Amino acid sequence: MTMRIVKELRSPLNRLFIYETEDNHRVESVFYKGERLCISTQVGCPIGCIFCASGSKGFFRNLTFDEIVTQYELLKDSLPIKGIAIAGIGEPALNIDNVEKAVDYFRKKGLKVTISTTGYPIENFKKLIKLSHNGLTLSVHGILHETREKIFKKKEKLEELIDAIEEHLSKSSSSRRKKFQLGYLLIKNLNDDLENLKLLGELAKKHRFTVMLMMYNRVDGFDLEPVSREKYEKAFLFLREMGIRVTLSNRFRTDKLGGCGTLTIGRKEVVE
């Protein structure tokens, strides 16, 4: 085996596993919803999303194919894993060759595979969207250029990412469109304004994409705040009234242990 589990942390909802690689890096996976394993693809992340703990300690290297699938292999006999979410530490498009092999590997085992990506770099995003996944979330988090500038250290132009999906869909069966959605993580005073939300709604409507509207999970040392529950619900209703299909963060995704954006490298401490 190329990795071993060194620690497991549990909350009433999620189980977080810390792995150590042969060269002493620590990465994480989360088992949530009683059926899905969210796995990592890189040690750290160079995309540097402003809200995310995974990239806050920098980027060290891509995980190998073995290291990606070992996160599942070490747990498959003890947990009822039915699906894999490639949404843990790292940007999957930056490790496209190993992610491509891993998606094939998981699909051959009869597992559902979903992917979350910022779409960087676009050449690899074009390969990612073609894989035999069961759902791909393009994490946009902002529609206005100036908002996206504040959120991502590295990013592609949103219009070009959408064009790449449309180009792929133009050659696919009509049901394939359902496999793509936009991810939008709401952060107070950063991307929760009406202008961004209206543009998000218009974009989703034009392309018939579902919007996954996520709550920001607080991370120690980050100077960001989630929007209030009231504002979150207002944003949801606003998009719904525009005729958009919207899904909300469930309690597994907002759990202090293993919630979106909270996985980290090199964790030693126990989460209180």
Q: Which residues contact 215 (CB under 8 A, 6 or more apart)?
A: 185, 186, 226, 227, 232, 248, 249, 253, 254
Provide the minimum distance between the beta carbon of 185 and ligand SF4 in the complex, in angstroms, as a whole number. Answer: 8
Considering the rule CB under 6 A, would residue 142 count as an interface residue with ligand SF4? no
Gap between the Cα atoms of 98 and 100, Å rounded: 5
Answer for the pair 114, 99: CB distance below 8 angstroms, yes or no: no
Record the tokens describing residue 188, joined without a space. 């107070």
Q: In this complex, which beta carbon is closest to ligand SF4, that of residue 75 or of residue 140?
A: 140
**86-94, 126-134, 173-181, 248-256 -> range binding ligand SF4 (CB under 6 A):** 86-94
Integer CA distances (angstroms), 85 to 72, 196, 223, in order: 11, 27, 28
Residues 100-119 that bind ligand SF4 (CB under 6 A): 118
Residue 115 or 227 with smaller CB distance to ligand SF4: 115
Stretch that binds ligand SF4, among 44-52, 107-115, 188-196, 231-239 (CB under 6 A): 44-52
Q: Return the structure tokens found at 139.
A: 């994490």
Contact status: 39 vs ligand SF4 (CB under 6 A):
no
Phi/psi of residue 2, nearest 5 degrees: -95, -10
- To ligand SF4, the closest distance from the beta carbon of 242 in angstroms equals 26
DSSP secondary structure letter of residue 92: G
Cis peptide before 226 (omega within 30 of 0): no
Q: Which stretch binds ligand SF4 (CB under 6 A): 88-96, 103-111, 158-166, 172-180?
A: 88-96
Q: Considering only the stretches 51-59, 122-130, 227-235, 247-255, report the one whose residues sit in contact with ligand SF4 under the rule CB under 6 A.
A: 51-59
Q: Does 45 participate in binding ligand SF4 (rule CB under 6 A)?
A: yes
Q: What is the x/- site pattern for ligand SF4, positions 212-251, by CB under 6 A?
A: ----------------------------------------
**With respect to ligand SF4, which residue has the nearer C-beta, 54 or 114?**
54
Closer residue to ligand SF4, CB minimum distance, 242 or 271: 271
Opening angle at CA 147, ends 247 and 260, nearest 5: 40
Instruction: Write out the two tokens for 132.
Output: 């035999």
Q: Which of 13, 26, 32, 48 binds ligand SF4 (CB under 6 A)?
A: 48
Pairing of strands 26-32, 15-21: antiparallel
Nearer to ligand SF4, 131 or 260 (CB): 260
